[in-house]
Amino acid sequence: MLLDKEKCLSAAQRVLREEAEALLDLIPSIGSNFVKACELLLQCKGKVILTGVGKSGHVATKIASSLASTGTQSFFVQAGEAAHGDLGMIGKDDVVIAVSNSGEGNELKIIIPILKRRQIPLIAICGDAKSTLATEADVFLSAHVKREACPLNLAPTNSTTAELAVGDAIMVALIEARGFTKDDFALSHPGGALGRRLLVRCEDLMHQGSAMPAVKLDESIENTLIEMTEKGLGMVAVLNDDGSLAGIYTDGDLRRTLRREISIKEPVSKVMTANCVTVGPQTLAAQALAIMQDKKISGVIVVDDKHMPLGAFNMHDLLRAGII
């Protein structure tokens, strides 16, 4: 079967347009019920339990994951399994969010009376305001769509996008209400790239002590080059007599030195870069990377508030740490 490229592109564009329009149609439905739902979730002393079946169940899983990673303790319970024992996972201090397009799934209908008997608040994200789920819930949030983007009006497309968007709206509202920060987010994502960029600081990367390349201000260029080669960072910190940072000598400075035809017996102070770029130990590694890229440098010295050098690192260290 040959693919009709024009029809393929037209279908893709139509789906994106229809799903975008479906989301815009939802905006007027965001009102007092949405506020009530967020208040229930903020006041929840237990966990937020997401439930659903089929494609809506997959959406509920994503919402649970998003909430859990942004400060709301949450997990997913499949509605069919809940009716066969997993309701025991839901405690009296929890809040349940049920996601369903029709609101009439038997799996959900079975567990609704149990939740009501146990006085566990139920929030419904549902496509039909007159459904059993919507009318029995403590709070109903509309995910209504006029039709699916599927040409047969059967495969969940607009409806699942709408459900997911309502879930995202809840998540963002709770982030803002809680004052959830980047650092909080990083603590939930320590193993990923986001976590590394938000958690790793310059003090975690720097070569310090005997591993930090350093020479005194009156040291010869020759010995400075030996120190640079031995330490392998492509730079050397140049220190005043009191140990404070006077400047830096880098691979770039070496190239400039060679053009000047200056003797390598001369003190490094004659060819170093004074007033060099430095960072503090608590500076985020991602911020240091931005500074280095802006200044077009490949290494940097870490100093304390008295300009005393604590360590040094280069682009290779950022690469190994997963910052780049």
Higher pLDDT, 323 or 22: 22
- Least confident range from 28-42, 110-124, 197-211: namely 197-211
Cβ–Cβ under 8 Å, residues 222 and 270: no
Amino acid type, 158:
N
CA dihedral 212, 218, 221, 225 (to 10 degrees): -10
Specify the pLDDT at position 197: 65
What number of CA atoms fall less than 13 Å from residue 315's CA on the CB side?
Answer: 10
Alpha carbon 310 to chain centroid distance? 30
Q: Which whole number is the average pLDDT over 65-71?
A: 89
pLDDT tier for residue 24 given thresholds of 50, 70 and 90: very high
162-181 pLDDT, tens digit per residue, is 999 999 999 999 999 988 77
Percent helix, strand and coil across the chain, each rounded to 5?
50, 20, 30
Q: Which whole number is the average pLDDT over 65-80?
A: 89
The helix/strand/coil state of 66 is helix
235 burial type by CB count under 10 A (0-12 exposed, 13-18 middle, 19+ buried): buried
Residue 34 CA to residue 285 CA, distance in Å, equals 39
Q: Please give the mean pLDDT across all residues of the chain.
A: 91
Cβ–Cβ under 8 Å, residues 312 and 299: yes
Specify the pLDDT at position 187: 58
pLDDT tier for residue 39 given thresholds of 50, 70 and 90: very high
